[in-house]
Structure 1
């Protein structure tokens, strides 16, 4: 099914229904413009307090939007009636720091002790960038956003530690200040860039080889601009070695009922 076909369903509930029924399993960039998307991390209750502290210490990559009660799969604040076990196009299963699989639902893995964390996603501010005349290359090229593991360490909490992950969007040099201003208004969706310019300063050797997502074209007169990314939690999963961590697959986000503007301070 094409992106245009999914958009034809209407709003987030229709898109989540298409995802739940397996009619959309791809990345969610560009889906339901005007509505916020969210990263998902699910952990056993024994690790929840440490991860909550990790998010509080690292609000740039992990801007918390909601934490569910143990055992609950319904994000009542962001999308009442939704099901976090089925309403993400593709999940990732980590056990003891190893990636075990990428299913399209986690119904058979859900337990009464699992706590879900939802935090903002940079897909949320892309509509505002476009409205400000700033191009978004991965949307133009029909790709997933490129993501890179950096040499910057997050502030650890309990067992959770690891490197910052960033997304990259190539921006015409003259539009970089505008891109910074626009995205700074969205602290609930990672906010302003963490770095502009030389990828080597973040330990990124080759832009054409992202660690997650797809490479995009960087044209003459453009500068790579980097934003903190919620996939940081997955890099942390590899180092923390929690007995179980369920997440979204990179770029395959949870679509909420909240408007983009709800995550902005306009």
Structure 2
């Protein structure tokens, strides 16, 4: 995917990945843990992503904090970028050529700028109408039919920023999706399934135990499970927007229920 189709936050994340990979290609401890867990690289990838998004938060929130402390408005780029530059130089250790450092500063500024730009009522109404005209009438995460006439119902319409606005996800068309009010609330500003507390998505019980649902089916945990599988049936690839709500199953029945061992399936494969 070219930079022109990526939000500032996604571009910044990719840039940090490139920097770290070039300086430290092997993650020995995490790689060994992945082998110990027989995770086939999944544990390593999720830990890598979790650390990446922690770093992204530090950069963007820290830059916003520095601007607030200096009483400089984010929209005043001529004064804002030098303050962001000083903040990054004093609190991070980037060893980059000048051109790349300038790009880093500019991307962080763009993320801060995007985080302050709310979707206007007119833009929201236009986007929702565009979804309807395109035949998109279900939540992309849970598959529920959207009630476009309600504002209070759990299935009322929300315009979801796929990459969160808080971290540089702007309102370009490619970054907007239709979701229900509930899923929008539970996804919140998480950037990726690894950005949830995925290590807590685990239970020692099986489906028949009374504590199973209470421990595993916390709403934000369910959203994380769907997002981990791209809101698609793990078995056949049908998307929730057409298949409806996807239910969880154990990928390896002899293993316990934990985040990396949970898949989601559509009703064609759901045996209850």
User: Given the two structures, how large is their TM-score scaled by the length of structure 1?
Assistant: 0.27
More strand by share: 1
More helix by share: 2
The structure having more radius of gyration, on CA atoms, is 2
